[in-house]
């Protein structure tokens, strides 16, 4: 049991994935000698060498395509796309080739590709380096989407992603890189599609990921002092989504609040709320609220970016509204 940062947990997850399976290789821009633009691959190249840890040109389309080609020939590529925003540059490879390859060939190929990318706002990188890009991929069946929020999940979900036989998009949140937490020497496995109940409570079910999970927890603790007990659920993977855990919680709380970084349109929060309503309408005693960002790009200036992200206060207010409804 040691205390490490979220960043270090990712690095250990990558290192252990490479140790566990010789078919795993790591590649991307500046991931080898430089140890990654975010230092999430620090020391990996030194440990595993040129054959298994490779720097690439600035060619995201080539990176994704190479991962696909290597995967269908028996390898387990772990590719880095530096900022998740750059997934737009290789979007075709991800949504038209990677996601559909197995299906279009009637199951002749499997694509055990993991693409890890730095996600999200709050760090002053501006509109083209701050998007919560997970929402771009929700309407493309065939992709698994992982959004770790803690040190242990950062590690365990990296392991699960690389071991998974389907394409997995692993989004690490830039705002969490420096967060510290305990990482056991033998981290328990986490399956993709299994949520974590962060906090139990009988009044309101709150679902949140990454940065917002931590803000929601802070809000929940405020509310506890007001006598409102929040059940906080972190789905940890958006695809597949652990609907059973959310439903079980709603059967007790009958109130749902989803907190997400990013605007409402085409988002995972809206997808979750819609799903709950298809079978669970009767469960709800209050409107299932979505706390999210404004319908704007991510602004640069500190106060503007801060206002774009849901704050603990906004979350707490929404919980109050939901509880009182």
Ligand X SMILES: Cc1ncc(C[n+]2csc(CCOP(=O)(O)OP(=O)(O)O)c2C)c(N)n1
| Number of C-beta neighbours around residue 106 at 10 A | 7
SS3 15: helix
Q: Does 124 bind another protein (CB under 8 A)?
A: yes
* Encoded tokens for 181: 């937490």
34 binds, among another protein, a copy of itself, ligand X, none (CB under 5 to 8 A by kind): another protein
Q: Could you say which of 25, 45, 48, 171 contacts another protein (CB under 8 A)?
A: 25
Query: For residues 135-164, which are near another protein according to CB under 8 A?
Result: 141-142, 164
* 267 is a site residue for a copy of itself (CB under 8 A): yes
Contact with a copy of itself (CB under 8 A) among 25, 38, 177, 268: 268
Among 54, 72, 89, 194, binds ligand X (CB under 6 A): 89
Check binding of 42 to another protein (CB under 8 A).
no
Beta bridge partners of residue 81, listed in sequence order: 117
Catalytic residue among 129, 173, 203, 214: 129
Residue 275 appears among annotated catalytic residues: no
Site residues (CB under 8 A) for another protein, limited to 60-99? 60-75, 77, 85-86, 88-89, 92-93, 96-97
Binding to another protein, residues 159-198 (CB under 8 A) = 164-166
Kindly state the number of chain residues that form the binding site for a copy of itself, as judged by CB under 8 A. 51
Instruction: Rule CB under 6 A: say whether 127 interacts with ligand X.
Output: no
**82: contact with ligand X by CB under 6 A:** yes
**Given candidates 127, 187, 218, 307, which one binds a copy of itself under the rule CB under 8 A?**
127
Residue partners of 88: CB distance under 8 A and separation at least 6: 133, 136
Report yes or no: 32 and 45 within 8 Å, Cβ to Cβ: yes
What is the residue-wise DSSP string for 89-142?
TTHIIIIIIITTHHHHTTTS-----EEEEEE-SSSS--TTS---GGGGGTTSTT
Active site residue 60: yes
Q: What is the DSSP letter of 299?
A: P
Q: Which of 29, 60, 163, 172 is catalytic?
A: 60
33 is an interface residue for another protein by CB under 8 A: yes
Distances (CA, A) of 2 to 66, 143, 184: 36, 33, 6
Pick from 13, 35, 269, 310: which binds a copy of itself (CB under 8 A)? Answer: 269
Binding mask 12-41 for ligand X (x = CB under 6 A): -----------------x------------
Q: How far apart are CA 131 and CA 120, in angstroms?
A: 5
What sign for the dihedral angle of Cα 237, 304, 265, 281? Answer: positive
Contacts (CB under 6 A) with ligand X, residues 34-73: 58, 60
Return the residue matching tokens 């242990």: 152
Closest CA to 5 of 42, 55, 53: 42
If you write DSSP's letter for every residue of 124-190 in order, what string do you get?
Answer: S--TTS---GGGGGTTSTT-EEE---SHHHHHHHHHHHHH-SS-EEEEEEGGGTT-EEEE-SSPPP-
d(CA 199, CA 222): 13
Exactly one of 3, 20, 244, 301 binds another protein (CB under 8 A); which one? Answer: 301
Shortest separation between residue 91's beta carbon and ligand X, angstroms: 11
Active site residues: 60, 129
Q: Which residues bind a copy of itself (CB under 8 A)?
A: 85-86, 88-89, 91-92, 95-96, 99-100, 103-104, 126-128, 135-142, 239, 262-271, 273-275, 277-278, 281, 286-290, 294-297, 299-300
């Amino acid at each position: 049991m040691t205390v490490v940062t979220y960043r270090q947990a990712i690095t250990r997850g990558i290192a252990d994935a490479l140790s566990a399976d010789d078919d795993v290789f790591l590649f991307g821009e500046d991931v080898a000698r430089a140890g990654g633009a975010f230092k999430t691959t620090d020391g990996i190249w030194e440990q595993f060498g040129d054959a298994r840890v490779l720097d690439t040109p600035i060619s995201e389309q080539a990176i994704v395509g190479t991962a696909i080609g290597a995967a269908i020939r028996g390898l387990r590529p772990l590719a880095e796309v530096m900022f998740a925003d750059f997934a737009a540059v290789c979007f075709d490879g991800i949504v038209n080739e990677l996601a559909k390859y197995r299906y279009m060939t009637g199951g002749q190929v499997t694509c055990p590709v993991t693409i890890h990318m730095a996600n999200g706002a709050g760090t002053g990188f501006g509109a083209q380096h701050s998007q919560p890009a997970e929402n771009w991929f929700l309407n493309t069946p065939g992709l698994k989407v992982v959004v770790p929020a803690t040190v242990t999940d950062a590690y365990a979900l990296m392991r699960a992603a690389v071991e998974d036989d389907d394409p997995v998009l692993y989004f690490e949140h830039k705002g969490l890189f420096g967060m510290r937490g305990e990482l056991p020497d033998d981290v328990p496995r986490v399956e993709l599609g299994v949520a974590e109940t962060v906090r139990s409570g009988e009044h309101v079910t709150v679902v949140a990921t990454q940065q917002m999970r931590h803000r929601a927890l802070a809000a929940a603790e405020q509310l506890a002092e007001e006598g409102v007990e929040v059940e906080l659920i972190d789905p940890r993977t958006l695809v597949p989504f652990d609907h059973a855990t959310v439903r079980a919680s709603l059967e007790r709380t009958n109130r749902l609040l989803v907190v997400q970084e990013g605007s409402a349109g085409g988002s995972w929060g809206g997808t979750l709320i819609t799903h709950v309503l298809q079978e669970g309408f009767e469960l709800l005693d209050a409107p299932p609220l979505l706390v999210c960002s404004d319908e704007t790009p991510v602004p640069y200036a500190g106060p503007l970016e801060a206002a774009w992200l849901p704050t603990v206060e906004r979350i707490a207010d929404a919980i109050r509204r939901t509880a009182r409804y």
